Chain A
């Protein structure tokens, strides 16, 4: 039973990382109607920048703050230079252009940091364990990732549903012509939303850095799963992104942990050995297909549309 609890925490931890990515992507997609494949590049940049700042300043918190600010600025610059011209084009053009951005950022990182993966150590005050229950030890850092992720989710919800900026974001999503007719600078709003999304991706990246290796292409690996999250949760919905991310994180982690022993009870051990890992890696895609079949608009579609 304790193992189930521990694996559940692992699932939530993976889920909140996915959520931080999905939140930015779903806002940009749902509100600005822009397919941004380069979202993973911002995740990668967040990880690289935080690692470098940590090595230079020696303070983990300073590195986090600097990296967040930097990804926010990079996001805004990318939006101003590259993406503003794409809003009126169709999705295929956007896919092509943002795919180009992926290649650009990957090469840029290779030029600046080199091709070899870089590694960070956690500061000592983050590298311990906490005892949740007698016998259940969980890495402190991973517990912290869960807390930060849930806190960001709460803040985002407050921002979107309780503030003026959030009201404008929602209004922009339902009718952008009307919003600009009322005297709101919708371009500026888009730039801000994109910067916010970039910072969230950067946050996900910098938190993932000490767990995984910081390397070129790390963004593309997670991006596919993030798209699965958005499709399951419903495009343009923060609530959907949160639920979708937690569901995907859980299904993936628990599938990897328990599918094989479960199959072994009905199949022969050798059949379970080969079917278990294969099935576990397909599980989230099967889930996505099921959601698309029964609720094509996702679990929590943005109500405005």
Chain B
């Protein structure tokens, strides 16, 4: 009885104390809105990104730039309209200082202009549609990933150097799919015998396209099927009896999410990428080791980029000594990319897209019997994207 009575008196007092304290607390807290796909079949990618953000916060002692931090997660359901709504809510209701995340290029094209237009910083951690690197570049937009074309450019160069020709190309029909094929063609000058775009995001059965592929009798196949699509594609490619016949080259199709699911069906697969779990540097070893310890599985590049995103924000807030109103100072700090990135040291191009190395990776079976991606060689050193010339930004 007395306990309840005490509560009755104490509670309002405590509440009042909180209310009184609220304005000063709000000023000294960094608020980050992190948008990714957390539901549906591709929710597994979002989970990796979210886990990596949490790991980054652990490593920073739950502080960003020395200030307490609050991360608000939002689910875009892989839909541009939903992504924009979530971003609006974060800007208007939560008054976030940074918006980060975004897997899909079509969602990014809806969200990024909304955020930067509202005067808030946007740190992309995956999608890199060409418009944002070129005409639509913005001083408040940074990315810790890549411009879409860059990775297939590396694969195009590798296949060109190998003298491969008669290639069949497949990708889903959305902005990133088009970017990937365009990037591939920029460096691959051999003959392309077929180019097919499949319905996005509904189509999961590629049997009709694979029949068509077999009929054109290509010497090699180049594809882009991210996340869950990759698993479907690799399974069906193997089932159609094509694995042993026609070599398959890909970008963002075989990764640490799809490998445990498809196993042998991916062995020997070549990919190009800017990062790999076996990349040797202190930041990466710490990230990969602690991720495995905390979550019991291999991290994937989606996660590494998201980890880097939080680290980049941390470096910016530190540089302005916690003065979150000093956006100019934070932009200047981010341009230096002065933080321990999981990919090693890199620099920013004028359009705020990384200038970085790209490697050739191969799916192999490791000593312990587990399937993993291993770096074979460096294809590009300090590779710039092809759209920065269209960006009018001056540093």
Q: Residues on A close to B: CB < 8 A?
A: 2-3, 6-7, 10-11, 13-14, 115-117, 119, 122, 127, 129, 137, 139, 141-142, 211-213, 215-218, 221, 253, 256-257, 260, 273, 277-278, 280-281
Contacts and interface: CB of A to CB of B under 8 A. Distances in A.
A20 to B, nearest CB: 15
A280 B209 CA distance: 13
B73 to A, nearest CB: 14
Most chain-B Cβ atoms within 10 A of its Cβ — which of A7, A116, A217? A116
A215 B228 contact: yes
A144 B67 CA distance: 62
B205 A211 contact: yes
B261 A119 contact: yes
Contact of A117 (B44, B195, B205, B239): B44
Contacts of A6: 211, 215
B163 interface: no
B204 A273 contact: no
B231 interface: yes
Given A142-B207, A253-B208, A256-B209, A115 B239 contact: no
Q: Is the interface of B mostly helix, strand, loop or mixed?
A: helix
B202 A137 contact: no
Interface stretch (B35-43, B247-255, B314-322): B35-43
A11 to B, nearest CB: 8
A221 B41 CA distance: 12
Given A119-B231, A139-B239, A215 B173 contact: no
Q: Is the interface of A mostly helix, strand, loop or mixed?
A: helix
Interface of B: 39-41, 43-44, 47, 173, 195-199, 202, 204-205, 207-209, 211-212, 215, 228, 231-232, 235-236, 239-241, 261-262
Contacts of B207: 10, 13, 142, 211
B261 A212 contact: no
Contact of A127 (B212, B215, B239): B239
A281 B208 CA distance: 13
Contacts of A115: 39-40, 43-44, 47
25 contacts: A2-B215, A7-B211, A10-B207, A10-B211, A13-B207, A115-B40, A116-B43, A117-B44, A117-B228, A119-B261, A122-B239, A137-B241, A139-B239, A139-B240, A211-B205, A211-B236, A212-B205, A212-B232, A213-B204, A213-B231, A216-B41, A218-B41, A256-B199, A257-B212, A280-B199
A216 B228 CA distance: 12
Contacts of A217: 40-41
Contact of B41 (A127, A215, A273): A215
A122 B21 CA distance: 62
B208 A221 contact: no
Given A116-B44, A119-B261, 17 more contacts: A10-B207, A13-B207, A14-B205, A115-B47, A117-B44, A117-B231, A211-B207, A212-B205, A213-B41, A213-B228, A213-B231, A216-B40, A218-B41, A253-B208, A257-B208, A277-B197, A277-B198
Nearest to A278: B173
Contact of A3 (B204, B212, B228): B212
Contact of A277 (B199, B212, B228): B199
Most chain-B Cβ atoms within 10 A of its Cβ — which of A6, A11, A14, A122? A6
Contacts of B44: 115-117
B208 A7 contact: yes
B64 to A, nearest CB: 28
A253 B44 CA distance: 29
Nearest to A212: B204
Contacts of B240: 139
Nearest to A13: B207
A200 to B, nearest CB: 20
Contacts of A213: 41, 204, 228, 231-232
Contacts of B202: 221
Most chain-B Cβ atoms within 10 A of its Cβ — which of A2, A11, A253, A277? A277
Contacts of B47: 115-116
B62 to A, nearest CB: 26
Nearest to B212: A257
A58 B262 CA distance: 19
Nearest 5 CB-CB pairings of A with B = A215-B41, A116-B44, A3-B215, A115-B43, A6-B211
A217 B215 CA distance: 33
B239 A257 contact: no
A226 B94 CA distance: 42
A73 B47 CA distance: 34
Contacts of B231: 117, 119, 213
Contacts of A119: 231, 235, 261-262
Contacts of A11: 208
